[in-house]
Structure formats: C-alpha cells, structure tokens
Chain A
Amino acid sequence: KQEVTQIPAALSVPEGENLVLNCSFTDSAIYNLQWFRQDPGKGLTSLLLIQSSQREQTSGRLNASLDKSSGRSTLYIAASQPGDSATYLCAVKNQGGKLIFGQGTELSVKP
C-alpha cells in the first residue's frame, strides 16, 4: 500500500530564506507526483507536476525534484516571502490510478 510522508509537519522561517520541503513515498511505481498549495479555508492549487520520467520541474521561485528509486521528492522555495505562508502537500499518482496525498507541511514565513 502506497504511503506518502511529509516532514516536517510545520516549518517557520524568516523572510528571504531558501527552504526545502520533503516528501517521501513507499512504492516507486508511480505515474507522477504533484505539489499543491493550500491556503486556510481554501481548496488546493497545483504548483508543479512531475511525470515519472522527469527529474525536476521549475516554476518561478519553485523547483521540485523527483528521485523515484529512493522514493523522494523535494520542493525548493527560493527567497521565501510572507505570501508563501500556506500548507504544502505532495501527492503521488499510483499506477493503479489513485492519487495518494501526504499530510502536508505548514509553512510560516515571518517578515
């Protein structure tokens, strides 16, 4: 059974810091991995989608990497800003077709 783990559960950093969020999964037979952002009381917004054949994806200050063999993905946020404060979730798409979510990392960027 696929399990997705995100560590840490919560992270607080000062504005301007570069930071890394971690996501690990137990079954490497995946179609893709997706990173989402969720603001309080809101739905999830897709940030980056990495197909199983890809190693990384970039969008602005965000860079996500995927290492299928070790069952790991990282989301790198450069020059963090208070507006980046949110919960970040990763999700893997199994080859069975189901999307399995991690529990998220709650990020707080202090001015």
Chain B
Amino acid sequence: NAGVTQTPKFQVLKTGQSMTLQCAQDMNHEYMSWYRQDPGMGLRLIHYSVGAGITDQGEVPNGYNVSRSTTEDFPLRLLSAAPSQTSVYFCASSYSGGANTGELFFGEGSRLTVL
C-alpha cells in the first residue's frame, strides 16, 4: 500500500531557482494539503484542495503555487526559491475536507535547502 508518496526526499536549490515537489496518493482521497515544518514554528498549512480543480490558500501561501488536475496528484511549485523556504515539506490527504474527514495521512516529507 503506497499511501501518500512524495518526491524528491531531498533537494538543494539556489536562490531564485524554481522547482516542483510532487505528491501522489492512491487512496482516492478528495482532500489534499501541503504543510511546512520548521523548528519552533510547528506545522503550517501552505495550500489545500478539497477536490480536483479546487485549491485554496492556507496560513503561509506566499511564494508557492498549487494545482489539482487529478484526484491523485497535488504538486507544490516554488516559483523563485528563497532561503526562507528552507524547510521540511509534508503532503497529507484525507477522505474529505468537510466535517467527516477521516484520518489525515502524511507522506514521508521532502527536505528542501535553499542556498
């Protein structure tokens, strides 16, 4: 059972470069989300999606774009990387985004360093 798969696991970028973090789930979940985890700041929501074609901003959306063309995939794009975006990024999914969400399942994380 794959669950939530994130790639790459590690990435080093230079300031100004762009890249895409990939996230795929095979559980037919409607709700998908991206978090970043930083020491002392906890987990913060970047963007989320309640279904294909629908995305919305979380707490810290600036500098990131998302799209949801299929139920399975929810890529996170860094448009012009900055050192402040050095973090561990987690993708998570659940059955739905409403009241009856079920459990939230996380990927293993993508560790990004921006020099």
Contact with B along A67-111 (1 / 0, CB 8 A): 000000000000000000000010101010111011110000000
- Structural contact, A34 and B106, CB atoms closer than 8 A: no
B interface with A by C-beta (< 8 Å)? 4, 33, 35, 40, 42-43, 45, 48, 50, 58-59, 90, 92, 97-109
Partner of A43, one of B48, B50, B101, B106: B106
Partner of A97, one of B35, B59, B97, B104: B97
User: Are A104 and B106 also in contact (CB < 8 A) when A31-B99, A44-B90, A93-B101 are?
Assistant: no
What distance in Å separates the Cβ of B15 from its nearest Cβ neighbour in chain A? 25
- Structural contact, B90 and A99, CB atoms closer than 8 A: no
- Structural contact, B109 and A42, CB atoms closer than 8 A: yes
Of the A-B pairs whose beta carbons lie under 8 Å apart in the complex, a sample of 19, sorted by A's number, is A31-B100, A32-B101, A34-B103, A41-B109, A43-B107, A43-B109, A44-B104, A45-B106, A46-B103, A46-B104, A95-B99, A98-B58, A98-B59, A99-B33, A99-B45, A99-B104, A101-B35, A101-B42, A101-B43
Total A residues in contact with B, Cβ cutoff 8 Å = 23
A interface with B by C-beta (< 8 Å)? 31-32, 34, 36, 41-46, 49, 51, 89, 91, 93, 95, 97-99, 101-104
- Structural contact, B43 and A89, CB atoms closer than 8 A: yes
Nearest residue, chain A, Cβ from B33:
A99
Distance A49 CA – B33 CA, assembled complex (angstroms): 18
Nearest residue, chain B, Cβ from A93:
B101
Distance A44 CA – B102 CA, assembled complex (angstroms): 15
Complex contacts, B45 vs chain A, CB 8 Å: 98-99
Distance A14 CA – B104 CA, assembled complex (angstroms): 31
Complex contacts, B50 vs chain A, CB 8 Å: 97
What distance in Å separates the Cβ of B5 from its nearest Cβ neighbour in chain A? 11
What distance in Å separates the Cβ of A37 from its nearest Cβ neighbour in chain B? 11
User: Are A46 and B101 also in contact (CB < 8 A) when A101-B43, A104-B42 are?
Assistant: no
Complex contacts, B35 vs chain A, CB 8 Å: 101
